[in-house]
Amino acid sequence: MADFETPEVKEYLDMPGLKPDAMSHSQPFVSRDEFQEPLGFPGELVDDWQNVAIAKLGELLDKNRGLQVFMDACVKCGACTDKCHYFHGTSDPRNMPVARQDLLRSVYRRYFTWPGRLFPKLVGAQDLTEEVLDQWYSYFHQCSECRRCSVYCPYGIDTAEVTMATREIMNAVGKGQKYSNEIIGKVFKIGNNLGLPQPALQDTLEGLEEEVKEDTGVDVRYPLDEKGAEVLLVTPSADFFAEPHVDGLIGYGKVFHQAGISWTLSSHASEAANFGLFIGSPENMRKIALRVREAAEELGVKRIVFGECGHAWRVAYSFLNTLAGPFDFLDPRYPVPQHICEVTHDLIQRGALTLDKSANDHRRVTFHDSCNVARASRMGDTPGGQFTIPREILRAVCNHYYDMPPDTIGEATFCCGGGGGLLTDDLMELRVKGALPRMQALRQVADEEGVTHLAAICAICKSQFAKVLPYYGFEMDQIVSVHQLVSDAIVLDPAR
Amino acid sequence: MTLASIVFAVLFYAATAILLIGVGLRIARYARAPAPLKIPTTPAPTTRTGVVGRMLSEVVFFYSLFKSNKWIWILAWVFHLALLLVLLRHLRYFIEPVWGWVVLVQPFGVYAGFALLAGLVALWIRRLFVERIRYISAPSDHLMLGLLVAITASGLAMKFLWHTDVTAVKVFFLGLLRFEVHPLPTDPLLLLHLLLVVALMVVFPFSKLLHAPGIFFSPTRNQADNPRERRHTSWVARVEPTGAAASSEAAGAAPNARSED
């Protein structure tokens, strides 16, 4: 393992004492020109980067009311200071949300407000120096854009928005992050984050059909690019091969099979994830989102359904209508888009699925609310449906379900530690430390209720937990997909 | 007519102009800036009425702060409520005859003065002694508390220790409202109190006091959670084909009009 210590899991989450600069060394790999240019960003740090950065900040303040209000409104009350999982895991004071925002706000004050121009020291304003840019690169890549702090801010200041704006500024001056930008390039070139071309997808899906046939004796279909299907399913590309993701994909197929709904995946929109969100680039986010619209039009589907992916659901639920709508060519009886959990939940409610709960009796399950689903989207008709619907599904497919402590779930949920474009090996220390609050809550239900499995509906959460669980004394296969549990409980009829 | 009355008349006219124009321009800027995407912090109300309720819970009860930290919440809430009462009590200097409810408020305004001072001092103690909050404080954050404490303390001192001629003070301010300058008492404590109030009015549009108008424009709190039901449009939105091809489509809302939601 690496050259850092895994934080100790205690009975309660302690308030960390401040350790300034404890994580200033933590930076992801900087992007190169080959990854920058497809996104429309300069390949390396431009010569007059200060001017470009200040101009970009000015442009964002004009174009985004939220950013302008968030820069002005903070009173330094301290409500957010103990809300960030990275602060709990690292003790670095710059991982307190307000201190992270202040890295940008200090520059905003220096160049855009009179007190900052006249009395910089007095109001905590500072020049945009190379050192500040370096701190931006460190600490705006220690925010997973999870919005937990925004729940507790009396003005709703959302550090995620500040992080996105600063990453957009850094991309504009040529200091992008390799991980996110390389992945966006792959989506443009091939259609998904993992760079799986159409033949590879076809092959994988045929393999899944054989596997399900062997397991169950039933012909469940996993179709690709089938024109005229009713549903286009857009799912994170991790679902095509990685554990436990692929077990979720198997589950979606079984649900559609049992409900008699014809469906298809698309090789053109073979990715639900949209890393344009992470880097705060509306143009790139729209370009990725438009692929979903193009696929839906091309295949002539009537509905769009998204698979288990947290930030993808935020972009889909909250932004897709704006970025790629209106979707008046789809069946108006269904919301656009739908979450696979909404589909499954509705079928369970209507009694359309036969479920054998005892198939999951060897598991005692808890549910991890993924941040983007919890605090940036909804499921169903009523606020909070994003919390109740997955839980009702889980209770319908397992006999042993237990929630983690209330201050760690729902809108108060803790990030897995790998969201927001940080799910990369060059940030392993940050990811392990940032997982501390979730691991502490999991340890508690594991000890008190004998919980054995953590179910999630986010590809990033699943990958992150598979990697960090062992650091905290758990097994990597204790993380499961919600639709994996559905898959195991569902009683299949032969193909109709 | 004393020099003090002329100087303070000019100061109050200037400070009022800076406050109103400064905050007005800021509000205009907030109102004009587009909201590119739907970003309410969820769970959020799905209707405009629901949003009004959410905003009231924030503005009146500081609900998010309540969820965050009970100590900051109680101190901040007591401070703001006391400030409101004290300001209402001061209305009597600007109206004649004094409205009935302003008369009723007077005794509560006095108690509120002490609550205001206590709240401010406690918040300052937090800022000085809680390590996390000390870390995030700039000198201006301490100065702002100092300014408010000084205004409150000088006001209370005039009420209980060194009185001034409040009738003359009222004549002075009623005069200002009619663009007449009447003599202002020159007790040092009064002049200090008024000078600090002028300072507060002047820094308002350039400081964190902008949180007061800002909260109403905060998209995470003022947007309804209805992106699937109503298409939110802005400069980020997909631009639809225009002209003959588009005109045949059944019209809904103007496709790329800016929704202020």
d(CA A209, CA A276): 33
Whether B236 and A386 lie within 8 Å, measured CB to CB: no
Which chain A residue has its CA at the smallest distance from B261's CA? Answer: A65
With respect to residue B203, please indicate whether it lies within any of the assigned structural domains.
yes
Give the pLDDT score at B1. Answer: 66
Q: Give the tens place of pLDDT for each residue, A389-418.
A: 999 999 999 999 999 999 999 999 999 999
Q: Grade residue B248 by pLDDT with cuts at 50, 70 and 90.
A: very low
Amino acid (1-letter code) at residue A403? D
Given A183, A204, A226, the domain boundary residue is: A183
Report the distance separating Cα A289 and Cα A267, nearest Å.
14
Phi, psi at residue A495, to the nearest 5°?
A: -55, 145
For residues A124-146, average pLDDT:
98
Q: Distance between terminal CA atoms of chain A?
A: 51
Mean predicted lDDT score pLDDT of chain B: 93
What proportion of chain B, given as a percentage, has pLDDT over 70?
A: 92
Q: Minimal Cα distance from A324: which residue of B?
A: B238
ipTM for the whole predicted complex goes beyond 0.90: yes
Asked if residues A349 and A380 have their Cβ atoms less than 8 Å apart, the reply is no
Asked if pLDDT for residue B254 goes beyond 60, the answer is no
B130-155: average pLDDT: 98
Query: Which of A17, A158, A325 is facing B39, going by the closest CB pair?
Result: A158
Interchain contact, B136 vs A81, CB within 8 Å: yes
pLDDT at res. B178: 96
Residue A386 Cα, gap to closest chain B Cα (Å): 8
- Judgement on whether residues A57 and A93 belong to the same structural domain of the protein: yes
Task: Evaluate if residue A238 carries a pLDDT over 60.
Answer: yes
pLDDT of residue B258: 44
Cα separation of A478 and A474, whole Å?
7
Judge whether A157 and B214 are in contact, CB under 8 Å.
no
- CA of A383 vs chain B CAs: smallest distance (Å): 5
Asked if residue A221 and residue A156 are part of one domain, the reply reads no
* pLDDT at residue A1 in the model: 45
Which DSSP string do the residues of A31-93 spell out, in sequence order?
A: P-HHHHGGGT--SS--TTHHHHHHHHHHHHHHH-HHHHHHHHH-----TTTT--HHHHHH--G
Q: What is the mean pLDDT of residues A160-181?
A: 98
d(CA A180, CA A159): 19
Residues A245 and A159 in one domain: no
Residues of chain B neighbouring A286 (CB-CB closer than 8 A): 236, 238
Among the candidates A166, A183, A200, a domain finishes at A183
Q: Do B67 and A122 touch (CB under 8 A)?
A: no
> Which band of pLDDT confidence, cut at 50, 70 and 90, is reported for residue B58?
very high
Say yes or no to pLDDT of B8 above 90.
Answer: yes
- The CA distance from A219 to the nearest CA of chain B, in Å, is 35
The mean per-residue pLDDT over the stretch A189-197 comes to: 92
User: CA nearest B124 in A: which residue?
Assistant: A77
What is the side-by-side order of every strand in the sheet holding A479-481?
A365-367, A453-456, A479-481
**CA-to-CA dists, residue A162 to A66, A405, B157, angstroms:** 9, 29, 44
Taking a C-beta distance cutoff of 8 angstroms, is the pair A137, A173 a contact? no
Residue in A370, A390, A366 with CA at minimum distance from that of residue A452: A366
Residues A241 and A124 in one domain: no
Contacting A residues, span 127-156, partner chain B, CB-CB under 8 Å = 147, 150-156
A382: chain B residues, CB-CB within 8 Å? 46
pLDDT in tens, A324-372: 999 999 999 999 999 999 999 999 999 999 999 999 999 999 999 999 9
Q: Best mutation site among B129, B238, B260 for testing chain A: the one with the most A CBs within 10 Å?
A: B238
In a domain, residue B108? The reply is: yes
Predicted pLDDT of residue A384: 98
Kindly list the residues from chain A whose CB atom is less than 8 angstroms away from the CB atom of residue B69.
Answer: 78-79, 82, 152
The DSSP line for chain B is --HHHHHHHHHHHHHHHHHHHHHHHHHHHHHHS---S--PPSS--SSHHHHHHHHHHHHHH-HHHHHH-HHHHHHHHHHHHHHHHHHHHHGGGT-SSPPHHHHHHHHHHHHHHHHHHHHHHHHHHHHHHSHHHHHT--HHHHHHHHHHHHHHHHHHHHHHTS---HHHHHHHHHHHHTT--------HHHHHHHHHHHHHHHHGGGSGGGHHHHGGG-HHHHS-S-TTTS---STTSPPPP-SHHHHTSPP-S-TTPPP--
With a CB-CB cutoff of 8 Å, which residues 150-209 of chain A face chain B?
150-158, 161
Catalogue the E-assigned strands of A181-235: 231-234
Q: Looking at the 3D structure of chain B, how many domains does it have?
A: 1
Rounded (5°) CA angle A104-A110-A112: 90
Q: What is the mean pLDDT of chain A?
A: 97
Which residue is closest to A290 within chain B, CA to CA?
B238
CATH code: domain of residue B142: 1.20.950.20
Q: Are A319 and B67 within 8 A, CB to CB?
A: no
3-state secondary structure A432-446: HHHCHHHHHHHHHHH
Q: Are residues A346 and A370 part of one domain?
A: yes
Q: Which residue has the tokens 């509905």?
A: A303
Q: Does B188 reach chain A within 8 Å, measured CB to CB? A: no
Q: Decide if B255 is inside a domain.
A: no
B236 in contact with A, Cβ within 8 Å: yes
**Token code pair at residue A16:** 């960390």
Amino acid identity, residue A61?
A: L
Q: Is residue B231 part of a domain?
A: no
A9 falls within a domain = no
- The Cα–Cα gap between A243 and B171 comes to 80
CB contact under 8 A, B33 and A62: yes
CA dist A331 and A339 (Å) reads 15
CA-based nearest residue to A247, from A208, A196, A216? A208
pLDDT given at position B247: 47
Domain finish residue from A183, A205, A232? A183
> Do A149 and A274 sit in the same domain of this protein?
no
Shortest CA distance from B67: residue in chain A: A152
Contact B42, B222 (CB under 8 A): no
The C-alpha angle with vertex B50 and arms to B47 and B55, in degrees rounded to 5, equals 125
Q: Does residue B251 surpass a pLDDT of 50? A: no
Q: Say yes or no: A338 and A462 in one domain.
A: yes
Give the pLDDT confidence score for residue B88 in this predicted structure: 97
Q: Based on the domain organization, do A189 and A159 belong to the same domain? A: no
**Which range, of A423-427, B240-244, B249-253, averages the lowest pLDDT?**
B249-253
Which chain A residues are Cβ-neighbours of B227 within 8 angstroms? 317-319, 321-322
Q: How confident is the model at residue A496 (pLDDT cuts 50, 70, 90)?
A: low
- Cβ-proximal residues to A124 (8 Å cutoff; 6+ apart), any chain: A102, A105, A106, A109, B138, B139, B140
Average pLDDT on B4-12 reads 96
- Give the count of domains, chain A: 2
With an 8 Å Cβ cutoff, are A113 and B206 in contact? yes
Q: How confident is the model at residue B243 (pLDDT cuts 50, 70, 90)?
A: low
Q: Which helix (H) or strand (E) holds A185?
A: helix A178-189
Question: What is the DSSP annotation of A217-230?
Answer: S------BS-TT-S
Give a yes or no: residue B202 inside a domain. yes
* Portion 348-377 of A in contact with B at CB < 8 A: 374-377
B159 touches chain A (CB under 8 A): no
pLDDT tens, residue by residue, B210-236: 999 999 999 999 999 999 999 999 999
Does residue A416 lie in a domain region?
no
End-to-end CA, chain B? 53
Q: Are residues A127 and A235 in the same domain?
A: no
Distance CA A319, CA A174 (A): 27
Q: Using the beta-carbon criterion (under 8 Å), do A63 and B208 form an inter-chain contact?
A: no
Same domain, A332 and A390: yes
- Cα B31 to Cα B25: distance, rounded to the nearest angstrom: 10
For residue A474, the distance in angstroms to the closest alpha carbon of chain B comes to 31
- The answer to whether residues B64 and A154 touch, using CB atoms and an 8 Å cutoff, is yes
Mean pLDDT, residues B167-192 taken together: 96
pLDDT at B240: 77
Q: Is the pLDDT of residue A494 over 90?
A: no
A496 occurs within a structural domain: no
Q: Is A289 helix (H, G, I), strand (E, B) or coil?
A: helix
A 10 A CB-CB count for B161 gives 8
**pLDDT 10s digits, B147-179:** 999 999 999 999 999 999 999 999 999 999 999
**A114 in the same domain as A190:** no
Q: Which residue on chain B is closest to A117 by alpha carbon?
A: B206
**Which residues, at least 6 apart from B75, have a Cβ–Cβ distance to it below 8 Å?**
B119, B122, B123, B126
- Judge whether B256 lies within some domain: no
Q: Tell whether B18 is within 8 A of chain A (Cβ).
A: no
**pLDDT value of residue B239:** 85
Domain assignment present for residue B233? The answer is: no
Is residue B256 exposed (0-12), middle (13-18) or buried (19+ Cβ within 10 Å)? middle
Structural domain contains residue A116: yes
Instruction: Check: CB of residue A220 under 8 Å from CB of residue A254.
Output: yes
Q: What is the mean pLDDT of residues B82-86?
A: 97
Q: What does the DSSP assignment read for A400-461?
A: -B-PPPGGGSGGGPPP-S-TTT--SGGGHHHHHHHTHHHHHHHHHHHHHH---EEEES-HHH
Q: How far is CA A469 from CA A24, A454, B247, in A?
A: 25, 10, 56
pLDDT tens track for A61-79? 999 999 999 999 999 999 9
Residues 112-131 of B with CB under 8 A from A: 126-127, 130-131
Same-domain check for residues A153 and A111? yes
The continuous run of DSSP H or E covering A483 comes out as helix A482-489
d(CA A52, nearest CA chain B) in Å: 21
Residue A2: predicted pLDDT:
57
**Domain of A83, in residue numbers:** 33-183
Structure confidence by residue, pLDDT tens digits, A431-486: 999 999 999 999 999 999 999 999 999 999 999 999 999 999 999 999 999 999 99
